[in-house]
Every structure is written in C-alpha cells, then in structure tokens.
Amino acid sequence: MQELAATAQRQYIDSVAVFTAHEEAIAEAAQVRGGMYWKNTGYLIRTSATGGEKSLGPRSAETERIYARFVERKGSATSRLAGLKQKLDECRRLNRALHVGRLETIVVRLLNELAAANLAGHFRVVGTHALYAYEAQAGIRFDSDALATRDIDLLWDVAKRVRFATLLNRVDTSMLNLLKKVDKSFRRRNSQLYTAVNQDGFEVDIIRREPVDGDPHPMRISADEDDFWVARATNAHLLLDAPPFTAVVVASNGEMARMNTLHPLAFAKFKSWMAQLPGRDPMKKRRDLLQAQAVEEAVHEYLPQLAGGYVSLDIPPPQGLAELATDVPGST
C-alpha cells in the first residue's frame, strides 16, 4: 500500500466537509418538503410533496407564526442546498484533477441512488468494495491485486424488511428498477436471481443472513415479480452484528458517495475465516488473505483509533464451503 499524495489528502478532507454539509442540507430540506398556503376559507393548508393536503387550523396568531416560520425555513433550506450543490460540483472537479479517488463511477452512483431513496441504511457493502471505504479514511491506496473485482455485494438487513418495503413503495420502484436508474442495461440473471449484471459485466449481488426468528425464506426483496430474490450467506449475521463503519468514497471522475460497511477488523477476521474454507477457490483464498492482511496493516498503521476496544468476531471453525443459497427459485 502507499500513502495518498498530500495535496490529494487535503482535497479529500475539504471534500468530505462539503459532502457532509450537503447531507445535512438534504435532511433539512426534507423537513420542509411540500408547501403551505392560505385557503380562501381562511384556513392554513399544509401540502405534501405527493400532493396531499392537511388543514392546520383557521387563521390566528398561532397559524400565522407557523406559516411565517415555514416560509423562512424553506427559503433558508433551499438557498443552503443550492449553494452546497455548487460547492460539491467544485469539489468533484478538484477531486478528479488531483486523483483523489479511483472507485468505479457506477458504484458511487449506486450508493447515491440508495441514499436518495432513503434505503442506504438497509444495506452494508461487504466484500472487496469495502476496501475503498477503508483506504479513503486512512488516506492510502491498497495494492491493485487486493481490489480486483467486477461485482459489489450488498448485505441486506432482512430484520428491517417491513420498513424497507414502506420506503420502496414510497418511491414507487423496485430494487432492480432502482439499479436501472444508475445504468439502464442492468438485468437480473436467469441463473442467479440474486444477481443483476449490466452490459459491461458489472454485477450487483444482494445477500442476507441465514433465516432466523421466522424470517421468510426464500423471499424476494419486493413485491415486483421481476425483482431480486435474496440469497442467504453463511455467517452473514456476523457482518450485520459487527460494529458499523462509514466513509465518504470518491470515484475516478471525482463524484462522492457515503459507503456503509463494517468495522475493518471485523472485515479482516471474516476474510481470514473465508480463506480457511475447504473447497474455496484457491485464487479467492489468496485474495482473501491478501485483503485481510492489508486491512489489518492499514488499521494498525493509519487508523490506530479503530484498534482499541474492538471485540473480535466469534466465527465458528470452518466446516464447509460458505455458499449462497441454492433454494432461491431458479438459482444454480
């Protein structure tokens, strides 16, 4: 691994500050979505972003204050968001010029699409792409051999499936259609119903923990009959239970997104376990070990604050190949 150039590190720090402020501005603007108006009957009406209306009462000193406060907040939020969008675009150009990031653009856009739909909190990026979050936070570059992959694994929290369904319905889409907003060429594989692939061969896999406490299984991620089925993965509950880790990642074109994953030492422990699985592809075993060692080294040398107090994963000894579910309809 090697350290990021000093100019690029400074630019990353500045960009993260703008990105975080933009996230806060989006949340603030969401609180004043829709509008308010005085109906000719003298009642104050609150309108939602979807066109719904609710009466807040007849005109009075109190409703006048509510209306004035709303107009002030909405104007302020709109102005702040517009200004930060402009700053974010400036950061994107500088990020690209200074080679701050190297993540594939499609990954950043996927993460931002999940965030825009308020679905990002229901997924953790696991597998190789998590390394981009760790190297961004550490200000380093992992060796390219550790990062070689053409797919991203999204671990879905099935325990929050009801809330997830509500949010998905709110944006009136399916997970597959959400992917198509990022790249319209995405299609679900006929042989692996938990995988979507685009015309460039980039894959998105959605996995889950093994069924517990009455979890439905097999299950599709939404009611749309063309949507993903979700594959169970051995010991995936450990990845959900591990301490969270989040970082702003940067694409090669300078765009940014927030990546939610797991504590780097939990990642390293899990990869070490995978490398011991009987029957696992030897090339994948070597990459598992390479990634585990690289992440451990990065934590101890560049992120020592993450080493203190960390409780290691309690993973059972390997007994067989960790496989994705074969009982997903149509999978092989």
Write out pLDDT tens, residues 37-54.
999 888 999 998 777 899
Return the sign of the alpha-carbon dihedral for residues 141, 145, 151, 154.
Answer: negative
Give me the residues paired with residue 205 across strands: 153, 195
What is the C-alpha separation between 179 and 123, in angstroms, rounded?
14
Residue 48, pLDDT score: 85
- 315 has a pLDDT exceeding 80: no
Least confident of 9-18, 80-89, 112-121, 273-282: 273-282
Residue 40: which residues within 8 A CB-CB, separation 6 or more?
none
Q: Give the mean pLDDT of 105-122.
A: 95
Instruction: Tell me how crowded residue 144 is: count the other CB atoms within 10 A of its CB.
Output: 8
What confidence tens digit (pLDDT) does each residue in 76-86 have?
A: 999 999 999 99
Would you place residue 326 in the very low, low, confident or very high pLDDT band (cuts 50, 70, 90)? Answer: very low
pLDDT of amino acid 332: 38
User: What sign results for the dihedral spanned by CA atoms 129, 24, 255, 91?
Assistant: negative
Q: Please determine, for residue 319, whether its predicted confidence score (pLDDT) is greater than 70.
A: no
Task: Please give the pLDDT value at position 320.
Answer: 45
Map tokens 């059972």 to a residue.
316
Chain Cα centroid distance, residue 258: 6
- Using a pLDDT cut of 70, give the percent of the chain over it: 94
Q: Could you tell me if 331 and 228 are in contact, meaning their C-beta atoms sit under 8 angstroms apart?
A: no
Please state, in angstroms and rounded to a whole number, the distance separating the CA atoms of residues 139 and 161.
Answer: 35
The beta-carbon contacts of 257-260 under 8 Å, at least 24 apart in sequence, are 257/107, 257/108, 257/109, 257/111, 257/112, 257/115, 258/19, 258/23, 258/111, 258/115, 258/120, 259/111, 259/125, 259/129, 259/130, 259/132, 259/133, 260/120, 260/121, 260/123, 260/124, 260/125
Structure confidence at residue 324 (pLDDT): 47
Which of left, alpha, beta for 19 (phi over 0: left; psi -120 to 50: alpha)?
alpha
For residue 253, pLDDT beyond 80 = yes
Who contacts 296 (Cβ-Cβ below 8 Å, separation ≥6)?
A: 264, 265, 268
How do residues 257-288 score in pLDDT, each as one tens digit?
999 999 999 999 999 999 988 888 899 899 99
Q: Please give the structure tokens belonging to residue 268.
A: 């390293």
Of the listed ranges 144-158, 270-284, 305-319, the least confidently predicted one is 305-319
The alpha carbon of 16 is separated from its chain's Cα centroid by a whole number of angstroms, namely: 16
pLDDT at 234: 86
pLDDT band at 113 (very low <50, low <70, confident <90, very high): very high
In the structure encoding, which two tokens stand for residue 107, read together? 């990954």
pLDDT value of position 318: 58
Residue 101 has pLDDT above 90, yes or no: yes
**Mean pLDDT of the 105-119 span:** 95
Whether the predicted pLDDT of 321 surpasses 90: no
Average pLDDT over residues 32-39: 90
